Structure 1
């Protein structure tokens, strides 16, 4: 049997915010002993030089299938792109590299709230990129997008085209579409015409993404819309055969027009598995489409409800029947209330993990936490700090002043919701490198935005608490087995840091880098 001993380290075990050891042993890819370096005097061991070690990190809400399906898209995230002209420049440069005859010119990640123009780009702007090839760029929230005139022509979107249910084709005063596609159904009506990458291209993209995530210490992910690939389970498993090392929990989206087939045991088991189904109940705060009780400031708009109750219940019935989780995207306070109203009194169907996951959960009061805790149903939450850090410009316009204390109240959630995780939502986050865990940890500790504004400082937590939400507490949210802790019997997956995240000044946490990442006893990354 393969055995390796590691010593002289500051090892955060992920079993509790104050739980540290100084040595551990790996046997056949599994931790089989964890303890004190003083207990291994005289034994051959790898000396880690006093460096800090974390359990392999879990990103509980991200979108690798989306990234694999749009790997050809140019990145247009802040801080690199902060104006319409910069967006056009990036897309023009990208267009010069796109040579396939039928290829679209694609981009993703712009945040119009950071543009000095304070407006969405339009078809007229993207026509400066090309008038003879279709161009489409997703907004940072991945709920909306903008396309050029050629893309509208290819998709057959005209003044006479009705808006999709729960979405809009934004229009000029004469009713003609202006290229702005608000919410998922509108984007989908155009994006459906983009030629899909080949399966080999998708697999190559997933393997490359796995390598990138390893460089951040991430060893396991939940893909919260895996149906962005046509056959995600087969594609991810093929990528695993060719070198993808991640554990992956897949959550296909619920489409009432094309209900999911029932699962068999093999679908629900293994390192790559189907873990649940996702329903998108509302939009996003950063573009004021989250479904809210009170209208947005200076508006009579309450955002968008995207799915009817009967469709949410149909997805829940499928999840219950198949023994997997229901994940509900709910950002606005009205959407969050509706999740509780629909499910609080129902019997959970899973043990050990929540039957219902709430994704994002922007506005959470003490009373809402109490409702979750007192419910018969078992609830968990995947939320974020990178959102308010990166997207403050949008939240500043979308939140009323009295809502800020309840916006991403991580300290309140940490105390009141056991199955809780921080996550990146990449690439649906307005920041390049949004899956850098240390960026989210610093935002949790400092509660400061990218431009230095305090955002609900009373909701701050410690670095150890934030890291629990990427390790031991995150493990409780989903069926990602044997990761998130340095504990005997768990995968020997861990990250060695270049600096001690627990003692560096708070304003330097985001500068801490991963020096090495190990997955199941094998070093897969060294800086």
Structure 2
């Protein structure tokens, strides 16, 4: 039993719910109240610091991180040009032994490059011509590889584009190394040697430690099938010390149907919680599926799967008692999700049966439609996207769309199952899972370079934190977390400054000083 006292404890019960003391017994909170009522001489004195319930990242990718642990980070602000990208990858290549070893990177954002173009094989050939090089774009939907990687994958001028994707080409029709959308990337990435299972397990444990340093105690992995046997692998990581709760959402692949789930698969701190379908691309590279063409083009983005596959994934989720999560960014993709499911009967109680991931453009009419159908919907969205990727959104959004772009205030008022999240590493910023960065962006509605982005959609600090705690918990089956309340996990974060009173432009500088998971301190800064 441990009693904690003399804190400013945000319980997550509401925007104004604070306490000053609480008690944890066998990893579970059994009392929350006033420090004046504490009589335990051994109580831990919090020194007046601010305490939050353990934070939830409702859309992130630890399996992807574990599967690409060998990749160099190429995120802004460290990489802001093709020359920066080559420099970082070249330095990384020097650390890799083996003449045939792949040189991998992730996270570049070409919209921030002064030349305003995607890097190509010609750029990456400056790193190596005798071994393969591949670097994923920040959205994780597209990538660039060098000439050697194209040769290994057998991609030539005669190669047919995969459905819903493209091998970009030069003016002579030859592939230029740019791989647009997941199906094209996978043709090349299939040849990358996978890390060993032991390496993946160790990487997941390390990711858990990093999450704890952010105050994050539970996550939803929204494409857990990026590694083999994800449930088994994550549970093995728990045996090695992973304490993070993890809800796994494997991707839907009609060529490799998912098996039926057992009760054991669906229960426990690490569980299969749903299935994910990627319906369209991303706004930052103008592949999100949209009604009206992108500015100065006739391009409507990419639809990546057809109705039959989306419905089949929904049937599997219903049959197995888990959620369907649909990646939908463009307004046309968002409309299609509702059209396919609004008249269906929900199959889950307490949480939405259908989650919409990202949901970039949400009008008042669309939000009303989400609430009026028979189906229960929820949304996992972001503020780090417009903060980090403004350069891409500036080129992709029409002026009249900006008021409906990531309208967090509207969503907060109109949809209970709602979360902010990081999408790490598919976000164009180093440290995208820093919750305080997202909270500041939600409050200030300003981009990384200070541009105002839809100020009317701003929310308060308590509201933003609820979207990382109790409101986030209402979106997915991450049981026992999201609030500091009797009967729930004794998991919480202690901050080094009071996020509720610091100036708005200093919120992102607030750091987690300690993270406790089920009554055990797992991180001390």
SS in 2 for 1:89: helix
CA distance in 1, matches of 2:231, 2:92: 31
CA distance in 2, matches of 1:163, 1:190: 13
Aligned position for 1:350: 348
Query: Per-residue deviation at 1:42?
Result: 5.9
Matched, 1:485 2:483: yes
Aligned position for 2:446: 448
Structure 1 residue runs of 4 or more that deviate by more than 6 Å after TM superposition: none
- TM-score under structure 2 length normalisation: 1.00
**Could you give the per-residue CA deviations for residues 278-330 of structure 1, whole angstroms, max 9, x where no partner exists?**
00000000000000000000011000000000000000000000000000000
**Could you give the per-residue CA deviations for residues 152-189 of structure 1, whole angstroms, max 9, x where no partner exists?**
00000000000000000000111110000000000000
SS in 1 for 2:284: helix
Matched, 1:336 2:329: no
Aligned position for 1:15: 13
The answer as to whether partners of 2:99 and 2:131 remain within 8 angstroms in 1 is no
The answer as to whether partners of 2:100 and 2:130 remain within 8 angstroms in 1 is no
Q: How many residues align?
A: 525
CA distance in 2, matches of 1:262, 1:85: 48
Output aligned runs, 1:434-473, within 5 Å. Answer: 434-473=432-471
SS in 1 for 2:253: coil
Aligned position for 2:49: 51
CA distance in 2, matches of 1:460, 1:82: 28
CA distance in 1, matches of 2:85, 2:212: 29
Aligned position for 2:282: 284
Aligned position for 2:131: 133
Matched, 1:294 2:292: yes
CA distance in 2, matches of 1:103, 1:508: 43
SS in 2 for 1:267: coil
Matched, 1:360 2:365: no
Query: Per-residue deviation at 1:248?
Result: 0.1
**Could you give the per-residue CA deviations for residues 81-121 of structure 1, whole angstroms, max 9, x where no partner exists?**
00000000000000001103442100000000000010000
Query: Per-residue deviation at 1:44?
Result: 3.1
CA distance in 2, matches of 1:131, 1:484: 50
Output aligned runs, 1:114-125, within 5 Å. Answer: 114-125=112-123
- Unaligned 5+ segments in structure 2 are none
CA distance in 2, matches of 1:436, 1:162: 41
CA distance in 1, matches of 2:133, 2:42: 59
Aligned position for 2:301: 303
Matched, 1:380 2:378: yes
**Could you give the per-residue CA deviations for residues 103-158 of structure 1, whole angstroms, max 9, x where no partner exists?**
21000000000000100000000000000000000000000000000000000000
**Could you give the per-residue CA deviations for residues 217-254 of structure 1, whole angstroms, max 9, x where no partner exists?**
00000000000001100000000000111000000000
Aligned position for 2:430: 432
- TM-score under structure 1 length normalisation: 0.99
Aligned position for 2:27: 29
Q: Which of 142, 145, 151 matches 2:143?
A: 145
Aligned position for 2:201: 203
Q: What do you get for the CA RMSD once the two structures are aligned?
A: 0.6
Query: Per-residue deviation at 1:8?
Result: 0.5
SS in 1 for 2:265: helix
- Unaligned 5+ segments in structure 1 are none
Output aligned runs, 1:170-319, within 5 Å. Answer: 170-319=168-317
The answer as to whether partners of 1:102 and 1:195 remain within 8 angstroms in 2 is no
